Amino acid sequence: MASLYDEVVTITYDYLGPAADRFVVRQIRNHLQKDPSELQRKDLRQLIDWIQLAMRLISSDSDTIDSYMADLEALAQSKEPGIHGKKIIR
């Protein structure tokens, strides 16, 4: 079963491609002061806020950022882990 961290990376991959893994690891380590494997569902809200802030610095395309945030929100609201677990090639 995919970990929560993997699911965040899977969603991010659609927006940041090969940079997705590095981006998510950096957000978790720098802002949540955690190892990515320790990411828990209760951390997601805070992580989404940090990701949104970072994305505003990277891109001015609000439609793309909104779509990305919506995907992350859907993950945060889902109860069962793994429903967003698309297979990705990193």
Partner 1 sequence: MSVKSKIFYWYAAFVIAFTLVLLLPAPDSATLVRYHISALGLRLLDATFIIPEALIWFAAFYGYAKLHSYSQLIQTGKDGKQIARLATGLLLLAVGLPVGAILGGILSIIAAHEPSFKNPSVIISNYLGVLFPLLAFLWIGRGARGLSNLIKGRPQFWKTNVTTVAVITLGVIFCCLIVLDHAELRKAYHMSPELVMLTLGIPYMYTWFLGFFASVELQTYSQRVTGVVYRRGWNTLILGFVSIILLSILIQYLSTLTTWLTSLSLGWALLLLYALLFLLAGAYIVVALGATRLTKIEEA
Residue 78 touching partner 1 (CB under 8 A): no
Residue 62 touching partner 1 (CB under 8 A): no
| Contact residue for partner 1 among 4, 47, 55, 75 (CB under 8 A) | 55
Site map for partner 1, 2-41, x if CB under 8 A? -----------xxxxxxxxxxx--x---------------
Amino acid at 43: D
